Chain A
Amino acid sequence: MTEKRFNPLPGFRLTLGLSVFYLSAIVLIPIAALFIKALDVSWADFWRLAFNARALAAYKLTFGASLVAALANAVFGTLLAWVLVRYRFPGRRLIDALVDFPFALPTAVAGLTLASLFSENGWLGRFLVPYGIRGAFTPLGVVIALTFVGLPFAVRTLQPVLENFDRGVEEAAATLGAGRLRTFLTVIAPTLVPTIVTGFALAFARAIGEYGSIVFISGNVPYQTEIAPFLIVMRLEEYDYTGAMALAVVLMVCSFLLLAAINWLEHWASHFEKQ
């Protein structure tokens, strides 16, 4: 920002100052505090607290289930956004409104509902359990709950981009002889990939942090259906603050690295728009 440039809305310093203050108070200081607190522990203790077998199982479930859920949302969320943007049909507005439902519903309610739905006597579980599909108190249940909470992120990210998509591009491909599949794969999909990746990243980040809905549907069996955030809460309930902190630091570093990787992927996928 150069000083001499005329700006009809002055206040760059003020707004930047406030932004930095806000970001510090809300994000940076708590994170820093967490790291500083974790430094009190010896390396051996940290290793024991953060990487014991139970913790490893919890990380695996948290990141694995989040990844599966976010991938599912990336695929079906794209489809849903496409249908909502491209077609006009009765009930479209209702479906459009329903997409936001997971945003608004308290996650505990969602977890409870899903758990009762997929349990052995539930509406869906009744038909699925005899076939060996157990949607409650299993890792699958965790995936289901995470898919539920992540869906709006995938849909709402892509929707505005699809709405602004130039239909002329599809028509141009058609006049050049390209069929629908070819047009979709070579012309439409590549330009949407960066946005789909963004939606995926948001759904994924949301899933890693999810707690409320999962505690009801997963059953929280150690080594099997226990997620990392639940383990942290358990440690806190045992007044083992150091143990909770160690888990939190690992979770945070992993999240940070994953988000950085996704950001890079996003940048790479949209290489044709930058430089």
Chain B
Amino acid sequence: MSIELRHVSKRFGGVEAVSDVSFSMKDGELVALLGPSGCGKTTALRMIAGLEMPTAGDIYIRGQRVNDLSVQKRNVGFVFQAYALFKNMSVFHNIAFGLKVKKWKRGAIEERVSELVMLLDLCGLEKRFPHQLSGGQRQRVALARALAPNPTVLLLDEPFAAVDAKIRQELREWLVHLQYDLKLTALFVTHDQEEAMEIADRIVIFSHGRVEQIGTPREVYESPATEFVARFIGVMNVLDVEVRGGVGRAGELEFPAHGHGEGERFRIGFRPYAVSISSDPSALRYRAVVRHTYFLGVMMRVELELPSGQTIRARVTKEDYARLGLADDREVSFQLREYRLLASEGGLLEPEVAVAREMPPMLGEGI
């Protein structure tokens, strides 16, 4: 185990920022701490680095309990969202800083720095100062600086949030390659679920200071443990269902009562991919009109409006969209393939209820 948190909590004044969090990561793993802002993920990361002290619980790095170890002695690499480069130092001296602190010999420092300069494609920039670099270059310098002293783990706090979309994509790829090539153990914080899905081996999902679920991107997407996860990862249609005449009804949509009595209410949720669409208005069970189409790259998301005015989000591939001849205001029919019962308040989710199970969904862009 490279990093392990056992029942870690952190209070700031009267506010519990992190409560009873436990998770662990293996050597060579790239793990994302994912959650909305203010959910405690950054605090958790800072506690691992030693920049915050936990109020309760234990933190282990490589099997050693580090609660009482100062930041300086934990040997972690930390990359900040706002780069936090030393602006009075050149790129070379920024990268060499940690090595000088550790009293490396001059020749060894030069060798190590040029190695990292090569690795992060910063050749020719060694003499520049941070203000003469672009955002992407700055963050690569920050990465090189953090990696130089061979840290046990690399911790990254929203590392790509401050750069534009194209550079962000590049930096993500850098991180994945670095992690693979150097067999790095890296933990990064992000609020961007797509980013976490794309590059992490495993995702730890935070909400209100607690861990909601830990799993691979596929696991958290296909088998969300809680409603929070289901709604945070990707898009989910949520319907309020009321039992009338022994059948659960939400507008035109009908569901089995699932053990609920007459007049009782429950909620169900389903992903956009679980909606089958036919261009024949009477082929499938429900009728609807295509209200809007969102172009997501490989996928198209269509908003279907039922006669009652209720809307449902569905997803089709670009090819299917063309094959079905879909367009805004076009009349179609649809059917749900699967859905889930949602717990009334928080709580764990029931497994999916298959209506007519077809091909498993594919993970793609714009989920």
Interface residues of A (CB under 8 A from B): 166, 168-169, 171-179, 182, 186-187, 190-191, 272-273, 275
Contacts and interface: CB of A to CB of B under 8 A. Distances in A.
Contacts of B50: 174-175
Contact of B88 (A175, A178, A272, A275): A272
Given A166-B82, A169-B84, A272-B87, A175 B101 contact: no
Contacts of B87: 169, 191, 272-273
B145 interface: yes
A190 B72 contact: no
Contact of B71 (A166, A174, A186): A174
Interface in B49-69: 49-51
A176 B129 contact: no
Interface of B: 49-51, 71-78, 80-89, 97-98, 101-102, 129, 131-132, 142, 145-146, 149
Contact of A187 (B80, B86, B98): B86
A195 B30 CA distance: 42
A173 B80 CA distance: 12
Contacts of B132: 275
A175 B49 contact: yes
Contact of B51 (A166, A174, A190, A191): A174
Nearest to B78: A175
B175 to A, nearest CB: 18
Contact of B102 (A173, A177, A275): A177
B166 to A, nearest CB: 24
Contacts, number: 75
A177 B98 contact: yes
- Of A166, A171, A172, A182, most buried by chain B (CB within 10 Å of CB) is A172
A34 B86 CA distance: 48
Given A168-B82, A169-B85, A171-B71, 7 more contacts: A168-B81, A172-B78, A173-B86, A175-B51, A176-B97, A177-B102, A186-B97
Closest 7 CB pairs of A and B: A168-B84, A176-B98, A175-B78, A190-B88, A177-B101, A172-B84, A174-B71
A190 to B, nearest CB: 4
Contacts of B88: 187, 190-191, 272
A180 to B, nearest CB: 9
B77 to A, nearest CB: 7
A173 B97 contact: yes
Nearest to A171: B51
Contact of A182 (B76, B82, B83, B101): B101
A265 to B, nearest CB: 16
26 contacts: A166-B84, A168-B80, A168-B83, A169-B85, A171-B71, A171-B80, A172-B142, A174-B50, A174-B71, A175-B50, A175-B72, A175-B76, A175-B78, A175-B146, A176-B145, A177-B73, A177-B102, A178-B97, A178-B101, A186-B97, A187-B86, A190-B88, A191-B88, A272-B131, A273-B129, A275-B129
Q: Is the interface of A mostly helix, strand, loop or mixed?
A: helix
Given A272-B87, A273-B131, A178 B80 contact: no
A191 B84 CA distance: 13
A62 B76 CA distance: 54
A195 to B, nearest CB: 13
B78 A171 contact: yes
A273 B87 CA distance: 8
Nearest to A182: B101
A171 B50 CA distance: 10
Nearest to B98: A176
Contacts of B49: 175
A175 B131 contact: no
Contacts of A175: 49-51, 71-72, 74, 76-78, 146
A169 B83 CA distance: 8
Nearest to B151: A175
Given A171-B51, A272-B129, A178 B84 contact: no
B78 A179 contact: no
Nearest to A169: B84
Nearest to A191: B88
Nearest to B148: A176
A187 B51 CA distance: 18
Nearest to B46: A171
Nearest to B132: A275
Contact of B84 (A171, A179, A190, A272): A171
A266 to B, nearest CB: 14
Nearest to B101: A177
A184 to B, nearest CB: 13
Nearest to B71: A174
A171 B208 CA distance: 25
B84 to A, nearest CB: 3
B117 to A, nearest CB: 17
B78 A177 contact: no
A182 B103 CA distance: 13
A190 B86 CA distance: 10
A178 B93 CA distance: 14
A168 B87 CA distance: 12
Contacts of A176: 97-98, 101, 145-146, 149
Nearest to A273: B131
Contacts of B73: 177
A74 to B, nearest CB: 19
B72 A178 contact: yes
Nearest to A187: B86
A43 B75 CA distance: 71
A176 B148 CA distance: 9
Nearest to B93: A186
Contacts of A173: 86, 97
B187 to A, nearest CB: 13
Contacts of B51: 171, 174-175
